[in-house]
Amino acid sequence: MSVPDRAPWFDAVLTHLPDGTVRDVRVGVHWTAVVVESDGRLRCGLAATQIPAEHAGVTVADAGRLSQHRGLELAGLICSNSPTEASIGLAAINALLPPRPTAWGNVNAGELLAEYGAGKRVAVVGHFPFVDDLRERVGVLSVLELHPRPGDLPASAAAEVVPEADVLAITATTLLNHTFDSLMALRRPDALVMLLGPSTPLTPLLFDYGVDLLSGAIVEDIDAVLAAVSQGAGFRQIHRAGVRLVTLQYRA
């Protein structure tokens, strides 16, 4: 397993993560799932599957033996040079994070962005299904995307767009491609920042790194979600299989 230096946010999260026994690892076409047993409970974490641009060489060094590792060992893969290993690492982090049942709000991320972005400049990193609706409900919307669709801006425009945003929503896949820190460095100090998507680590520790809202996913039906992941399901299918969308908000 290839694991370079960790990002500062990850060191903070890792320090507070409990360990666990890895029970299952599924790397699907779109989503990766890791199941761990910790404190006598099974928990499942998700992360978007990242595929190397070039399919040469080994993408998962210990493929076939990942369940023999401890949960924290897999979590360390978040900083791997292999995009697919990084996906396994983030899914393991999300599985190991202790549940906070009284903290979650069942609030749609798009609705929150519309509320906070009314009359303001909003930048969204990643093309989410709600962006067309959001465009009609905020002052000015800019969508940055690695693979731009009509109306989107290329990711390379971040240096011009992000510093102007009153509200900044960043896809959690930036934790996988290691662009999260550089995007956060571009934000205005007074900007409201949301980290969103099923890959989002639902830990208040990220509030110490400038995030105000965490919108992610909790797996409630592990068996159904594992089956969907293994059979190439997209997130809407996985959501229907047994995932609840939740938001954790910073409270000073």
Residues 20/70, Cβ–Cβ less than 8 Å: yes
> Nearest 5 degrees, angle CA 202-CA 207-CA 211?
90
- Residue in 65, 55, 61, 59 with CA at minimum distance from that of residue 25: 65
Give the tens place of pLDDT for each residue, 31-58.
999 999 998 999 999 999 998 877 666 7
- What's residue 100's pLDDT? 73
Give the tens place of pLDDT for each residue, 69-119.
999 999 999 988 899 999 999 999 999 998 876 666 777 899 999 999 999
DSSP assignment string, 219-239: ES-HHHHHHHHHTT--HHHHH
> Nearest 5 degrees, angle CA 15-CA 18-CA 19?
110
Question: The CATH number of 8-100+219-244 is which of 3.30.450.20, 3.30.70.20, 3.30.390.100, 3.40.50.970?
Answer: 3.30.390.100
Residue range(s) in the chain whose domain bears CATH number 3.30.390.100: 8-100+219-244
> Nearest 5 degrees, angle CA 148-CA 85-CA 206?
70
| Cα within 13 Å of Cα(213), Cβ side | 25
